[in-house]
Structure 1
C-alpha cells in the first residue's frame, strides 16, 4: 500500500512540476532558474534521504530516479546560470574571454 502512495506522490510531483515550469514565460525562465538553484539542492538532499530509507525494489528505483533527476536538475540550473552571466559579462572581462576560448 505504501508503494502506491509513494508512486502517487512521485507522479503528482512530476505533473505539478511540469505544469508550473511550462507556464513560465521564456524571458523569465533563466532568471527564475538562477534564483532557485538552492531549491534544486534541497530537492537533491530530500531525494537522497528518500533513497536511503527505501525498503522495496520500487522504492529503490523511484529513489534512484529522484536522485538522478535531481542532480541533473541542479547541475543544469548552474550551467544555465553560468551561461546567462556570460551573456551579460563586460567585453573586457578576463573570465568571459577565458570561457570563450575553452
Structure 2
C-alpha cells in the first residue's frame, strides 16, 4: 500500500470518528434507545464485512488476525447493544401485580 493511500484512509477514519462523536453527543436521551437499535443493525453489516475480510485475506497472516479481531469486536458490539437495548426497554414495561 502506497503512503498516499494510507494517509487517505487515516484521514477518512479520523473524520468518521470525529463526526460520529459529534453526532452522538447531540442526541437527546429520549432517542438513545431507537438510535441504538438502528446502530445494532448497522453493526450486523460490520460482522458480515469482517467475515468477508477474514476470508479474503488468506495469504496474509496479519490480515487474517485483523479480520478475526474485527469479527470479534463487531460481534461483541452487536450483542452488547441488543442487551443494553433490551434492558432499556424493560424499564418501560409494567411490573406484575
**Superposed pair shares fold, TM > 0.5:** yes
CA shift in 2, pair 1:75/1:9, >3 Å: farther
Return the match for 2:90 from 81, 86, 91: 86
TM-score after normalising by structure 2 = 0.71
Structure 1's unaligned 5+ residue stretches are 94-102
Structure 2's unaligned 5+ residue stretches are none
Residues 34 and 80, structure 1, Cα contact 8 Å, conserved in 2: no
Counterpart in 1 of 2:33? 30
2: distance between equivalents of 1:56 and 1:26? 44
RMSD of aligned residue pairs (Cα, Å): 2.9
Give SS of 1:36's match: helix
Matched, 1:44 2:43: no
TM-score after normalising by structure 1 = 0.68
CA shift in 2, pair 1:77/1:86, >3 Å: same
Shift of 1:67: 0.4
List structure 1 segments (4+ residues) > 6 angstroms apart after TM superposition.
none
